[in-house]
Chains A and B, each alone.
Chain A
Amino acid sequence: MPSPNRDQGGGTPRCPRTPPTPEAREIVFDFLSDYDDPSIWGAFWMTVKLTALSGVGSLVWGTLLAAMRVSPVPLMRGFGTAYVNIVRNIPLTVIIVFTSLGLADIFGMTMGASDFDVRGFRLAILGLVAYTAAFVCEAIRSGINTVPLGQAEAARAIGLSFSQTLGLVVLPQAFRSVIGPLANVLIALTKNTTVAAAIGVAEAALLMKEMIENEAQTLLIGAVFAFGFVVLTLPTGLVLGWLSKRLAVKR
């Protein structure tokens, strides 16, 4: 928790016209070191952990869903379609709050955690995976749909077997065109981890809420956290955007 007497530094920086002496600069920024549970680094590290774990989880579940949606079995296709259309029309906030108030409090699904913080963390990942997987599924399916039917027909015509057609011709092309849409999903997921603040996971948005309510430097705090997210999302977008352009199948 932040120390109770940190309001001391809060009122002073409003005074204009004073030249920014080293002390004044210290007063303006001293709130940054007043928070150590979590610190700004700790809060953003939590954001990164949430993003990475739910990213992996939703990639697995989303790929399974995509496999169902393109499978030749009508029942699986129906399930995949229903899941995607239901889940992506529910706000993520509703899903995440439900994991805490519904799954954990009423059905006792505590995800094997005794600690409240750990429980919130795992529930948030569960909610994020359930939600993001629907978008991963759509990204993968659209990637598969960019492969022209003629590719598979040509592969069969030269006598490749089913697994050769899939493994050597169709999937390599599909994977390459899926990178761009998946990068978009990953960036959106990074930003969506802030919703975990709704069930008290100590990540960046929750720390910002606490700091911005207690400190005087509204604009500065806003800028610091905005900058943190720009740092997290911009390189991801640039690197994966470059990669998807480089690997794109020229048609």
Chain B
Amino acid sequence: MSSVLYDTPGPRAKRRNVLLSVVFFVLFALLLWWIWQTMDDKGQLRWALWEPFTESQAWTTYLLPGLGNTLKAAALAMVIALPLGALFGISRLSDHRWVRGPAGAVVELFRAIPVLLLMLFANEFYDRYTNVSSEQRPLYAVVTGLVLYNASVLAEIVRAGILSLPKGQSEAAMAIGLRKGQTMTNVLLPQAVTAMLPAIVSQLVVIVKDTALGGVMIGFTELLNTRGTLAANYANVVQSFVVVAIIFIVLNFLITSFASWLEGRLRRGKKSTGVVLGPATVEGTAATGAGGTI
């Protein structure tokens, strides 16, 4: 295999690569052995600690309701943030300075604030100034924090999506006499949404991961939070962390795979203009702002 960094290996390079492989394998095996030994020393490998996860009770009482709440918060946040993000993204492209300016300021501000601060603030705000019941408040606070942050990220994605379209599209629309609004809703936005779809779907990964903050900091009963209750019941802290981590990995892997399947499908499709925004493209366009997909 040849790349920009190295040539196709010759006989000497092949020998060196084999040697490196062996050394790396030994080091890696030592690391795994050390982890296994440490787990064994602390009695963390006992089957009794892992057994609860083979029975339905741990899942139906703790993990699945937690996962349900994680998904609920993530879905709500996405559904609310998307139109808001589209609105702000389009506003930032407006011809009027008094629309473009404030929209830009709001987007940049909410991208600079950590999502945890937004959640904490929303939680306190609902507590003092609204009569949201205290059982519902954590969900409201988590969704509000996620919406404020992700709407501003999605606004950048939408803006990048519209900017990525060939200039001829809006010129042609103008030439046949469409108004600015019509150009946006009938010509640019439909194409941009198709181009942005993979990037939007991968933003779901960020949203899913951020729900866990609400579980620890404001008592929202999502997966990480119900893990605590489960571990308190079965005294299996390490094991519950492993299982919860695996659930998150599988969930996010599914979302990412769906996004790249979508990207590939759209790239092959004949109907679009051929511009497709993956997660990487958005990271690139969001150069001066807050990091895109972390």
Q: Which residues of A contact B (CB under 8 A)?
A: 70-76, 79, 85-86, 89-94, 97-98, 101-102, 105-107, 132, 135, 142, 144-145, 147-149, 151-152, 156, 162, 166, 170, 180-181, 183-189, 191-192, 194-195, 197-198, 204-205, 208-209, 212-213, 218, 222, 225-226, 229-230, 233-234, 237-238, 241, 244-245
Contacts and interface: CB of A to CB of B under 8 A. Distances in A.
Contacts of B121: 208, 212, 218, 222
Contacts of A102: 237-238, 241
Contact of A198 (B113, B211, B216, B249): B216
Interface of B: 1, 3-7, 9, 13, 17, 20-21, 24-25, 28, 38, 42, 44, 108-109, 112-117, 120-121, 124-125, 128, 205, 208-213, 215-217, 224, 237-238, 241, 244-245, 248-249, 252-253, 256, 280, 283-284, 286-292, 294
Instruction: List the 7 closest pairs (A to B, CB-CB), nearest first.
Output: A188-B291, A188-B294, A184-B291, A241-B288, A89-B252, A91-B209, A91-B212
Given A90-B248, A93-B213, A152-B4, A72 B288 contact: no
The secondary-structure label for the interface of chain B is helix
Contacts of A72: 1, 6, 9, 13, 17
B210 A184 contact: no
A97 B223 CA distance: 13
Given A79-B24, A86-B249, A91-B248, A229 B237 contact: no
The secondary-structure label for the interface of chain A is helix
Contacts of A144: 4-5
Contacts of B7: 156, 162
Contacts of B217: 197-198, 205, 209
A187 B292 CA distance: 10
A151 B5 CA distance: 10
Nearest to A241: B288
A147 B3 CA distance: 10
Centre residue among B115, B216, B292 by max chain A CB count within 10 A:
B216
Contacts of B216: 93, 97, 198
A170 B287 contact: no
Contact of B224 (A74, A94, A187, A212): A94
A208 B117 contact: yes
A92 B248 CA distance: 11
Given A73-B24, A97-B216, A144-B5, A194 B42 contact: no
A106 B238 contact: yes
Contacts of B117: 194, 204-205, 208, 222, 225-226, 229
A230 B107 CA distance: 12
A170 B4 contact: yes
Contact of A237 (B241, B244, B289, B294): B289
A186 B290 CA distance: 9
Centre residue among A94, A145, A183 by max chain B CB count within 10 A:
A94
Given A93-B216, A195-B213, A241-B288, A185 B4 contact: no
A157 to B, nearest CB: 12
A194 B67 CA distance: 24
Contact of A89 (B113, B116, B120, B205): B205
B29 to A, nearest CB: 11
B212 A89 contact: no
Contacts of A170: 4-5
Contacts of B280: 142
Contacts of A212: 120-121, 124
A147 to B, nearest CB: 5
Contacts of A186: 291
A75 B21 contact: yes
A7 B209 CA distance: 36
B249 A91 contact: no
Nearest to B120: A209
Contacts of A222: 117, 121
Contacts of A234: 108, 112
Contacts of B211: 91
29 contacts: A70-B5, A72-B9, A73-B20, A79-B28, A85-B253, A89-B205, A89-B256, A91-B208, A91-B210, A102-B238, A106-B42, A148-B4, A170-B5, A184-B286, A184-B290, A187-B291, A188-B294, A194-B114, A198-B217, A204-B117, A205-B116, A205-B120, A209-B120, A212-B121, A213-B124, A218-B128, A226-B117, A233-B112, A233-B290
